[in-house]
Chains A and B, each alone.
Chain A
Amino acid sequence: MNSFDVSLLLSGQYHDWLVSGFALSIKLALITLVFALPLALLVAVLRLAPLAMLRAVGVVFVEAIRNVPLLAHMLFWYFGAPEVLPEALKLWLYERNFEAASAVIALVLYTAAYMSEDIRSGIRSIPKEQMEASRALGFSFLGAMRLVILPQALRLTVPPLISQTLSLWKNTSIAMVIGVAELMYQAQQVESASFRGFESFAFATGAYLMISLAITGASAWYHHHHPVRSA
């Protein structure tokens, strides 16, 4: 194997490819987070709703998504789903960045299913007397949820949500299968264009680790500043 050529990573065309991939990976993770968090909250509340119908909707959502690999989700949303759309809408979609849109849909659903479970167990760890007391004071289910239960539950949910964010960060790499030009895709492009696999994979690994380390650091910071209070 030739010696490690750092200059390839510091400037030039390959450097630009890798950096743009890195930026797109971060963008994918952030956009997913923005959509997945409220969806996860909605599903978690659905699963605890007083109506059996609503609870069933929540259960089906979570189980149907978690038991299928993210890769299959991506393939479905990219290749399968557009087929059932009307022709005009399909053309409109294909003119835009349809790869990235499918990847975001798959990532949002997948991440939300996992996060909703974390939020749900956070909510369930709040003593049920809290809900009963709020209802007795005249709050509706949603009012009690919003003003009494969730503010307490979400504090407890932050650490598992941070580790889900770490999974999300790693999961963005799977978007390469449908041709989204994120970090992993670009690393492979550089490898096949320059035969410099060692350098390009080292760059990608370093970049993934850097963000993972930052996320783990955030978790440690939160743990330090908001220690778990015993009830």
Chain B
Amino acid sequence: MWEILQTYWLYYLIGQYPDGPLGGLSLTLVLAALALVLAFPVGIVLALCRLSPYRLLRWPVTAVVFVVRGTPLLMVVFWAYFLLPTLTGHVTDQFNTMLAALVLFDGAYLAEIIRAGIQAIPKGQMESARSLGFDYPRAMRLVILPQALRNMLPSLVNQFVSTIKETSLGYIISLGEVSFVATQINTQLLTRPAEVYLLLALTYFVLCFSLSRFAFWLERRLAAGTSHPGTR
């Protein structure tokens, strides 16, 4: 495994960059980070629609969230790969296809995390904000969301771990992320698949394990910062 790394480490980390598109582990991280950042506002909007008193907003969004959560990510990837070009009229590259699929998929999952986070804030917070003269959007933006997001931080880090794992599906549409690069290295070596794929598993493990430990640490730290558990 060590010799494989010695020969291919640069390719494994950045793909063919700068002679070609960015790939490998860097692409995995860029894609995951970008997907989470873009999915976040989508998740907030979907969550607010899910909590909206207006059926016209609540029902269609509930249906969308249910459909996305009820189908495999791979299905969403295929729909994006197949539908985006028909809708926009020009061919979407693998990176943007994967990004669109991840934003939709993670947006639906984040919506449920954010909804739970908002619902965990006592009703009195909204009531007092409203009676102080804030309108609903301002009360949400200035009073509810900041508290809800703070409580959700650990869940968000865990969602980032999931997103990193999800980027591996880019493999199927030949996006040059780290799983795809590992397969290409395997094709060049031919005789050592066990080592190559063990290396791949190890790479994901180091990344995701340290992040999930970080989420755990964050959770304890935030819990310690709250003087009255449950009355927050």
B172 touches A177 (CB 8 A): yes
Proximity bits, A75-99, B CB within 8 Å = 1, else 0 = 1100111011000000000000000
With a cutoff of 8 Å between Cβ atoms, the chain B residues found around residue A48 in the complex are: none
Q: A170 — which chain B residues lie within 8 A by C-beta?
A: 70-73
Cα-based distance from A67 to B206 in the complex (angstroms)? 8
Decide if B49 is an interface residue (CB 8 Å cutoff): no
Is the C-beta of B8 less than 8 angstroms from some C-beta in chain A?
no
Question: What chain A residues lie within 8 Å of B196 (beta carbons)?
Answer: 80
Q: Is the CB of B171 within 8 A of A71?
A: yes
Docked-complex contact B197 and A75, CB < 8 angstroms:
yes
Cβ of B116 under 8 Å from chain A? no
Chain A min CB distance to B210 (Å): 9
Nearest neighbor of B76 in chain A, beta-carbon distance: A205
Interface bits B68-86 vs A (CB < 8 Å: 1, else 0): 0111111100110010001
Check A69 against B204 for contact (C-beta < 8 Å).
Answer: yes
Q: Does B179 contact A (CB under 8 A)?
A: yes
Q: Which of B96-104, B123-131, B160-168 sits within the interface?
A: B160-168
Which residue of A76, A173, A177 contacts B198 across the interface (Cβ within 8 Å)?
Answer: A76
Residue pair A201, B79 in contact (C-beta under 8 Å)? yes
Does the CB pair B197–A208 fall under 8 Å? no
B204 to chain A, nearest CB (A): 5
Q: Which of B69, B179, B182, B208 is in CB contact (< 8 Å) with A67?
A: B208
Q: Count of chain A residues with Cβ under 8 Å from any Cβ of B?
A: 40
* Interchain CB contact under 8 A, A68 and B172: no
- A208 surroundings in chain B (CB, below 8 A): 70-72, 75
- Measured in the bound complex, the distance between the Cα atoms of B209 and A172 in whole Å is 24
The closest CB in chain B to the CB of A211 belongs to B70
Q: How many residues belonging to B are interface residues under a CB distance threshold of 8 Å?
A: 39
A79: which of B72, B73, B197 is its contact (CB, 8 Å)?
B197
CB-nearest residue of chain A to B28: A69
Q: Which of B121-175 contact A (CB under 8 A)?
A: 161, 164-166, 168-169, 171-172
- Taking CB atoms and an 8 Å cut-off, the chain A residues in 117-169 that contact chain B are 166
Q: Are B75's CB and A76's CB within 8 A? A: no
Contacts known (A83-B192, A201-B82, A209-B71); A75 close to B205, Cβ less than 8 A: no
Chain A residues contacting B168 (CB-CB under 8 Å) are 69, 71-72
Complex partner residue of A64 from B79, B197, B200, B205, CB under 8 angstroms: B205
A177 CA / B197 CA spacing, docked (Å) = 14
Known: A71-B171, A213-B70. A1 touches B208 (CB 8 A): no
Residue of A nearest to B212 (CB): A67
Annotate A40-66 by CB proximity to B: 1 below 8 A, 0 otherwise. Answer: 000000000000000000000001101
Tell whether A81 pairs with B194 under 8 Å between CB atoms, given A63-B209, A71-B169, A184-B74: yes
Residues of A contacting B200 with CB < 8 Å?
Answer: 72, 75-76
The distance in angstroms between the C-alpha atoms of A212 and B207, with both chains bound, is: 31
Q: A72-B179, A84-B194 given; name 6 further pairs at CB < 8 Å.
A: A67-B208, A68-B201, A80-B195, A171-B72, A173-B75, A201-B82
Identify 17 residue pairs between A and B in the complex whose beta-carbon atoms are under 8 Å apart, listed by A's number: A68-B208, A72-B204, A75-B200, A76-B197, A80-B194, A80-B197, A83-B192, A170-B72, A170-B73, A177-B171, A184-B72, A187-B78, A191-B82, A205-B79, A209-B67, A209-B70, A213-B70
What are the 7 tightest A-B residue pairs by CB atom distance, in nearest-first order? A212-B70, A67-B208, A69-B165, A173-B72, A80-B194, A80-B197, A170-B72
Chain B interface residues (CB < 8 Å from chain A): 67, 69-75, 78-79, 82, 86, 161, 164-166, 168-169, 171-172, 179, 182-183, 186, 192-198, 200-201, 204-205, 207-209, 212
